[in-house]
Amino acid sequence: MTDIDFFYDPISPYAHLAFERLPEALMGHSLQVHYRPVLFAALLKAHGQLGPAEIPAKRDWTYRHVSWLAHHHGVVLDMPAAHPFNPLPLLRLGLACATDDAPGETNRYVTELLLRHVWRGGLDAADPARLAALQALLEDHMAQRGKPWQAPDSEVVKQRLRANTDEALALGLFGVPSMRVDGRVFWGHDALPMLRAHLDGDTWFDEQWQASAQRPEGVRRPRTG
């Protein structure tokens, strides 16, 4: 069975789109998906980047683009009441559900709850009452599974998130969603067809994966700030 790591942050509408469409992309293959929450803002900071929502014109385009993609693919996506927002409470709630045998993972049910909390209903993702209701649902989920629940603000949970984010940075990840399989990373919702082609054995990956990226830099702009 092939393992796929799906790195995500609920703040990303593209992560929501990719999550919803991932079963279709993987259909017919024997796979185990490991859902790995990471702090997107930390990836941006490490690479000296701004998020799409931090650049006014790109913000407008991003919201239009994801709304159209959802319409085009038949995925429910409602813009939250405010965006961006602080995703740390959601990330920690998810990893409070992680188990000792997979301390950096959320199962598909938990991942779905986190993403749909943000991207369905058009509500405030950071609303304390909604977060409390989500926590109660997750605690009940863990109790039904007979698994221990970790307090979201515990050092154990915080360390799980740091470890996931550090691993993502060590892999060179710069955005979410990022999907890693067979040592290759596929970035973004629009990489799902490429991921599928890899799984189907497209020979392009043997012939062009490395060669396509091996180009000399003609110029490098200095960083400012």
Boundaries of every domain in the chain = 2-213
Instruction: Report residue 225's pLDDT band, with 50, 70 and 90 as the boundaries.
Output: low
**Does residue 221 or residue 44 have the better pLDDT?**
44
Whether the link from the prior residue into 89 is cis, omega within 30° of 0, is: no
What are the Cα distances from residue 182, in Å, to 5, 98, 104, 134, 201?
10, 24, 19, 34, 12
* Token pair of 177 as six digits: 């969603």
86: exposed, middle or buried (C-beta count within 10 Å: 0-12, 13-18, 19+)?
Answer: exposed
Q: What is the mean pLDDT of the chain?
A: 96
Checking if the pLDDT of 223 tops 90, the result is no
Instruction: Report residue 190's pLDDT band, with 50, 70 and 90 as the boundaries.
Output: very high
What are the Cα distances from residue 179, in Å, to 25, 26, 129?
12, 12, 32
The percentage of the chain sitting over the pLDDT mark of 70, rounded to a whole number, equals 99
| Global pTM value | 0.96
Instruction: Report residue 221's pLDDT band, with 50, 70 and 90 as the boundaries.
Output: confident
Dihedral Cα 38, 47, 17, 211, nearest 10 deg: -120
21, 75 Cβ separation under 8 angstroms: yes
State the DSSP code for 83: S
Beta carbons within 8 Å of 59's beta carbon, 6+ residues apart: 52, 53
pLDDT digits (tens, 9 = 90+) for 50-104: 999 999 999 999 999 999 999 999 999 999 999 999 999 999 999 999 999 999 9
CATH topology of domain 2-213: Glutaredoxin (3.40.30)
